[in-house]
């Protein structure tokens, strides 16, 4: 014997289904700029949002900025010279020392946390890089007595001031501009925009920290040792 729904039950179901449809349509209209697709199946109505593909593009853009910055730092670091090779008639030993001194700073170019560490404690960061340089050239000190602790410290300061900081600041500027442009998009949700605001403000704080370091007298004074060498014909 077949069972049939009572008329009032059918009417109630129709009202519920109709209400749900209206709610669904309303959501689609309100969120139309943030929806990438709508899929209807037996399981129900699936609304796919733009947030995931949009955020994926944002992350990809930032990763490219970081990669380009690391490449620029690496290429510029490779041209630094802790000693004047012409003083030693461009000997293989002098060129090897230069390469060894640059190596830990080249490795550092691929660290994607310079800004955080510098903002946290620039003195600790600089001391760490100076120690890395000192460790790299220690075995050559008998042949090149000018490779003192002080010179290794000055070399790290020179790298920071002339290579690392300008490249980091440029990257932060690019990121701030990019985050700001993304905030103007209507197709991005409020949640993603809140994340973008946080990222933008973080980079603005990094820029302020970088600018303060760039004018620190002690770092400038140590870096100037290599500038004077260059002016006098040296290669630093």
Helix axes 51-77, 190-214, angle to 10 degrees: 20
pTM for the predicted model, two decimal places: 0.76
Whether residues 35 and 63 share a domain: the answer is no
Whether residues 19 and 44 share a domain: the answer is yes
pLDDT at 29: 47
CB 164 within 8 A of CB 233: no
DSSP 88-131: GTT-HHHHHHHHHHHHHHHHHTT-TTHHHHHHHHHHHHHHHHHH
Measured distance CA(88)–CA(136) in Å, rounded: 19
pLDDT at 53: 84
Count each helix (H run) and each strand (E run) in the chain, helices first: 8, 2
Whether residues 14 and 71 share a domain: the answer is no
CB 206 within 8 A of CB 117: no
Task: Tell whether 104 is covered by a domain.
Answer: yes
CB 65 within 8 A of CB 171: yes
Helix axes 149-159, 114-137, angle to 10 degrees: 140
Q: How many domains does the chain have?
A: 2
Measured distance CA(86)–CA(36) in Å, rounded: 63
Whether residues 44 and 63 share a domain: the answer is no
The residues near 201 (Cβ < 8 Å, ≥ 6 apart) are none
Could you list the pLDDT tens digit for every one of the 236 residues in the chain? 445 545 544 444 444 444 444 444 444 444 444 454 444 455 554 444 567 788 889 999 999 999 999 999 999 999 999 998 888 888 899 999 999 999 999 999 887 788 889 989 999 999 999 999 999 999 999 899 999 999 999 999 999 999 999 999 999 999 999 999 999 988 888 888 999 999 999 999 999 999 999 999 999 999 998 876 554 444 44
Q: Which token pair is 82?
A: 């802790």
pLDDT at 188: 84
Write out the residue range of the structural domain in which residue 28 sits. 7-49
pLDDT at 233: 44
pLDDT at 226: 87
Whether residues 62 and 151 share a domain: the answer is yes
- Residue 192 CA, chain-centre distance (Å), reads 18
Whether residues 32 and 81 share a domain: the answer is no
Whether residues 125 and 87 share a domain: the answer is yes
Q: Report the first-to-last Cα separation within the chain, whole angstroms.
A: 98
């Amino acid at each position: 014997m077949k069972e049939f729904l009572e008329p009032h039950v059918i009417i109630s179901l129709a009202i519920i289904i109709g209400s749900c449809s209206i709610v669904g349509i309303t959501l689609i209209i309100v969120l139309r700029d943030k929806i990438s697709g709508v899929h209807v199946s037996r399981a129900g109505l699936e609304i796919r949002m733009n947030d995931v593909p949009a955020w994926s593009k944002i992350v990809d853009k930032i990763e490219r900025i970081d990669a380009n910055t690391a490449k620029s730092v690496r290429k510029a670091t490779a041209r630094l010279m802790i000693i004047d090779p012409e003083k030693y008639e461009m000997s293989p030993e002098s060129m090897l020392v230069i390469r060894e001194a640059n190596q830990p700073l080249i490795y550092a170019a691929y660290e994607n946390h310079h800004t955080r560490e510098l903002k946290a404690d620039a003195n600790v960061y600089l001391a760490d890089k100076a120690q890395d340089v000192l460790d790299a050239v220690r075995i050559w000190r008998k042949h090149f007595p000018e490779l003192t602790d002080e010179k290794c410290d000055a070399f790290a300061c020179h790298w920071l001031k002339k290579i690392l900081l300008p490249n980091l600041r440029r990257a932060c500027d690019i990121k701030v501009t990019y985050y700001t442009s993304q905030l103007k998009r209507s197709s991005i949700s409020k949640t993603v925009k809140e994340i973008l605001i946080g990222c933008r403000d973080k980079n603005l704080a990094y820029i302020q920290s970088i600018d303060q370091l760039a004018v620190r007298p002690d770092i400038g004074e140590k870096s100037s040792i290599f500038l004077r060498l260059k002016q006098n014909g040296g290669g630093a």
